[in-house]
Amino acid sequence: MASADLDPIFVKGLKLLLSRSKEAEDQLKQMLDEVLDQRKKEIANKSVVGFVRLMTFASHLICWL
């Protein structure tokens, strides 16, 4: 498998993980923090969308009754 087939973020993280420099450690930590923050935002957005859909459904149901 060529490196072009791999996710660039994965390749960068792997290079940083194998590096022994202090800067690599800091960069890897920063990458991890960015990914975790992004995931938290995605989960929060899904929760908000789900709540809005539920409330819309409930309001339609109440109007129908």
Please state, in angstroms and as integers, the Cα–Cα distance from residue 24 to each residue in 9, 18, 29, 63, following that order: 14, 9, 9, 58
Nearest to 37 by CA among 25, 26, 45: 45
The pLDDT of residue 27 is: 93
Residue 65 is predicted with a pLDDT of 61
pLDDT score for 24? 92
DSSP designation for 3: G
Run means of pLDDT, 10 residues per run, the chain, 65 residues: 76 91 91 89 83 82 73
Q: Which domain holds residue 38?
A: 3-64
Reference 35, options 65, 63, 10, 6; nearest CA is: 10
**Predicted pLDDT of residue 15:** 92
* pLDDT at position 1: 52
Domain count of the fold of the chain? 1
